[in-house]
Chain A
């Protein structure tokens, strides 16, 4: 295989035989076993699974924060080595620094990747991204002065402003009330789909919300627990740009959703007295 061909077909993220063992008191606990999947350039991939099945573990490996994993992970063909400037991250909580105002938080993120910009330019760029997520008036507020939903908007704005090729999100909307969660999902969908002029980012999005996964993703990786393994990788067959209201009314959506639900329930049924599961 020549180098040129290899380059063309190299996935953005490739996870091969990923196994994570946590050392507990005097035994090993296998959180993930032989996980395999890929994320293509510009692909939105959701990872769903019940709580405790290893989703956060998987993401912390991809973030480069957890380094004792076995297996092979490549980013654009290169072996993953620690954190990297090509990956932006949104956590469920505390993505923002509480001592910086929202616009300073975003400008700080920009400063880590764009040394060429002046302080003023970075703040201006921060403001345009605050506008995009609907926080134009809240730039001078501290995170503690914002609602949880607004904090997540700001965290998304920072990740987007840093303009990384890859976005890693670990249940970014799980702590948001149902109504605002829908608004945030639609915001993320709109921002990610864009206007078609710029390339889309490659995304790994962790969730335990099936509707959220279907609405956003090109592909869903279903994990089952104990140990965390991939049960199935399912392409989402719905065309983009997507609109929630029209999408959820189609019979195809109902059918697809029930298929996913089945996968979930089978997994849960196998686990007697299973943990709390949110679907």
Chain B
């Protein structure tokens, strides 16, 4: 065919709009930093009897580290919205710590046994760090194993059944039925079926994640734009190429919806199961110490679980944004 070359001069790319630089004052003169100073100031109020100097130092140390981190990371933000969000979150944390300090260490308005000063929670976290890490490893390990197994089974099956119009119709109804069963009721059956707590947990998490991921994949496949399918058909793609290079990416958004749902159910299930029958895991940690009335450790457990779940969700979101970077 031809060798002619025509430049795209008539269709130039839209010039990149650069976000205006954020002025220094807007970066650093913020209420968040004022709250940090207030938090430090509050520490000078005399402590209530049951609080030790060490607890106060822990809190101050923690606040200083958070503030140093905040200041260090502030110059890295390019967009104003991102910076505002970040500083607001930090601000909320400071505000929460100020109130917590006043109501616990300074006035003991809250019952001391149930609401330890935050410094004590930090000290306890540090002391229990090795134990906590083992528990996190156990919990996250089980979730990952069950979840990844579910993913490996549900995505290919969803792609194939969804692509096959006739089987897909039947499978949609079946998956609706199975996903409507609260997965926690599989636990007794799992216990009868499998030897160890770990294998039962993996089994239950597999079932809990399988159905949402399967349903998400199927619905993704069924909703692929027919224009995209036509475009692939006229290229004469083979069946495997159609499934892997066309249907899979086109369904990815819905698959991730299923994954997120599966993951959050998995965390709920696993921590519940750990509270009932485990000797490891974060659920076990919380339950064990609350049975002894050790509410400092109970709160440590709650916070750690929150952080772990947020961390996992964050990583999954990053992966999702990366794999769907082609979307507007």
A residues apposed to B, CB below 8 Å: 60, 63-65, 83-85, 87-89, 91, 93-100, 108-109, 112-113, 131-135, 137-138, 142-144, 146-147, 149-150, 153, 160, 162-163, 179-180, 183, 186-187, 190-195, 198, 200-201
Contact = CB atoms under 8 A, between A and B. Distances in A.
A144 B10 CA distance: 19
Residue in B5, B235, B327 with the greatest tally of chain A CB atoms within 10 Å: B235
B234 A64 contact: yes
Nearest to B8: A134
A192 B326 contact: no
B235 A112 contact: yes
Contacts of B234: 63-65, 83, 87-89
B246 to A, nearest CB: 7
Contacts of B6: 132-134, 183, 186-187, 190
Contacts of B3: 132, 194-195
Given A135-B8, A187-B6, A97 B227 contact: no
25 contacts: A83-B234, A83-B236, A84-B236, A89-B234, A98-B327, A112-B235, A113-B236, A132-B5, A132-B6, A133-B6, A134-B6, A134-B8, A142-B325, A143-B326, A147-B11, A147-B13, A147-B14, A149-B10, A149-B11, A163-B1, A180-B10, A190-B2, A191-B1, A191-B2, A198-B1
Interface in B237-265: 237, 241, 245-246, 249-250, 252
A153 B8 contact: yes
A144 B235 contact: no
Contacts of A190: 2, 4, 6
Given A144-B326, A144-B327, A85 B1 contact: no
A65 B10 contact: no
B233 interface: yes
Nearest to B252: A99
B328 interface: yes
Contacts of A150: 8, 11, 13
B228 interface: yes
B107 interface: no
A53 to B, nearest CB: 20
Contacts of B237: 112
Nearest 6 A/B pairs, CB to CB: A194-B2, A134-B8, A94-B227, A89-B234, A183-B10, A190-B4
B88 interface: no
Nearest to B228: A94
Nearest to B5: A132
B230 interface: yes
B236 A93 contact: no
Contact of B236 (A112, A135, A147): A112
A96 to B, nearest CB: 8
Contacts of A143: 326
A93 B2 contact: no
B8 A192 contact: no
A144 B328 contact: yes
